[in-house]
């Protein structure tokens, strides 16, 4: 007699290492360009994240571990004490509101520009990002990055480890190494951006080496139970061309599995695809799955709830949602009771400074208060 699968709900508690999560919904890391020009988080970011503290886990937006890794203007960073102090305000606010946070560490690699960072971007190989990139003076043609030397590879790995230690000092429960979406770690994995002939290129074993060394260094710095890794198999964001997706990820996950990490975060996961089930089988630890939703285009009316439930049913442990969270600070409650979601008023406002389109979206409680104050004849 076989045991039937255990049905799980997005709204039931879960365990992530030493963290007790009140639900299985994770707020995915999303860049919102509200840091200062020096990468230091601003007070408004504390308000934003505290508003969303009912998520089971918040993975804070990508933060660069060194200056050359900066992607776009006003992106947060975590390589000096100003950054630590800024992030500590954020984690304190979230903790007071009952939340839990990891910080995503992201080096842009070729996704960067001298007008933004003041430095020439570096990458596995001198292969430019296709098209243009946003800079302080608007969109400009991407530049050809400089190929990283062996010494720069070693120093970058050390920068990731140092950034992880700073994140813990800033009050985060852990960090997520961003190995997805066409940024530096992903560039090493992919044939289209990694033309190296040394130990960090060539066959799969060489191309996964940088990712493994980064993760191991970070795990050694703060403990593997505080480290997650984000992957995006087959995703072509930022002009990435993996070339052999079906070979990269079994090798990478097989090597990561022995480290004892907190979780693997699988972006754009699809339970209808064989690869999802292969990864679930290979990864015996906690799997956070981010559903494949229409992009570009509007979100489903339920914000991804149904897609998330399918992923839980297919074996995911936690479900991360992205676009629904910025416009819905109380997203967990809205999904739980089936309330309508706030629409995003203007997508452009997500990426500019200030409260508008960032911290001014109403919660259900605010809507109820307004409703109770309105004369009965004015209620729709």
- Cα separation, 97 vs 2, whole angstroms: 43
Which of 237, 225, 151, 228 is closest to 186 using CA atoms? Answer: 237
Contact present, 62 and 29 (Cβ < 8 Å): yes
Q: CB under 8 Å to 87, separation ≥6 — which residues?
A: 41, 60, 63, 76, 78, 103, 167, 170, 171, 172
Task: Report the relative pairing of strands 101-105 and 57-63 from DSSP bridges.
Answer: parallel
Beta strands in 218-262 (DSSP E): 227-231
Where residue 31 falls (left for φ over 0; alpha for ψ -120 to 50; beta otherwise) is beta
Here the tokens at position 319 are 């479900």
Mutual orientation of helices 245-256 and 274-282 as an angle, nearest 10°? Answer: 20
Cα–Cα distance for residue pair 216/227, rounded to 1 Å: 10
Longest Cα pair distance anywhere in the chain, in angstroms? 74
CA distance 122 to 256: 25
- Buried/exposed code over 12-46 (b: 16+ C-beta within 10 A; e: otherwise): eebebbebebbbbbbbbbebbbbbbeebbbbebbb
Report the DSSP beta bridge partners of residue 63.
Answer: 105
The beta-strand segments (E) located in 286-336 are 287-291, 318-321
Q: Is 249 one of the annotated active-site residues of the chain?
A: no
C-alpha span between 20 and 223 (Å, rounded): 18
Task: Choose the catalytic residue: 49, 183, 200, 266.
Answer: 183
Distance CA 356, CA 362 (A): 12
126's enclosing H/E stretch is none
Residues with catalytic function: 183
């Amino acid at each position: 007699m076989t045991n039937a699968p255990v049905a799980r709900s997005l709204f039931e508690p879960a365990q992530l290492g030493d963290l007790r999560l009140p639900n299985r919904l994770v707020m995915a890391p999303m860049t919102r360009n509200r840091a200062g020009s020096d990468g230091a988080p601003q007070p408004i970011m504390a308000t934003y994240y505290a508003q969303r503290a009912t998520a089971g886990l918040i993975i804070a937006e990508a933060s660069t571990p060194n200056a050359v890794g900066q992607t776009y203007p006003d992106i947060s960073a975590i390589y000096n004490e100003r950054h630590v102090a800024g992030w500590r305000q954020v984690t304190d606010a979230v903790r007071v509101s009952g939340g839990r946070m990891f910080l995503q560490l992201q080096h842009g690699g070729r996704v960067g520009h001298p007008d933004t960072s003041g430095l020439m971007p570096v990458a596995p190989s001198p292969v430019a990002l296709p098209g243009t990139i946003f800079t302080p003076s608007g969109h400009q043609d991407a530049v050809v990055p400089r190929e990283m030397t062996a010494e720069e590879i070693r120093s970058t790995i050390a920068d990731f480890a140092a950034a992880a230690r700073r994140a813990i000092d800033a009050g985060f429960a852990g960090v997520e190494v961003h190995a997805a979406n066409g940024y530096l770690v992903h560039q090493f994995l992919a044939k289209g951006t990694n033309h190296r002939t040394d130990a960090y290129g060539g066959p799969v074993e060489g191309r996964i080496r940088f990712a493994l060394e980064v993760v191991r260094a970070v795990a050694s710095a703060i403990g593997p139970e505080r480290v997650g890794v984000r992957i995006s198999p087959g995703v072509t964001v930022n002009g990435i061309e993996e070339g052999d997706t079906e070979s990269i990820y079994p090798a990478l996950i097989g090597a990561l599995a022995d480290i004892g990490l907190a979780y693997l975060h699988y972006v754009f996961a699809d339970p209808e695809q064989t690869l999802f089930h292969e990864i679930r089988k290979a990864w015996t630890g906690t799997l956070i799955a981010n559903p494949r939703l229409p992009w570009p285009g509007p979100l489903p009316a339920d914000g991804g709830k149904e897609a998330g439930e399918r992923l839980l049913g297919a074996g995911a442990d936690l479900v991360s949602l992205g676009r629904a969270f910025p416009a819905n600070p109380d997203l967990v409650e809205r999904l739980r009771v089936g309330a309508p979601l706030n629409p995003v008023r203007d997508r452009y406002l997500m990426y500019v400074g200030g409260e508008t389109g960032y911290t001014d979206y109403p919660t259900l409680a605010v809507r109820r208060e307004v409703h109770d104050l309105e004369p009965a004849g004015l209620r729709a």
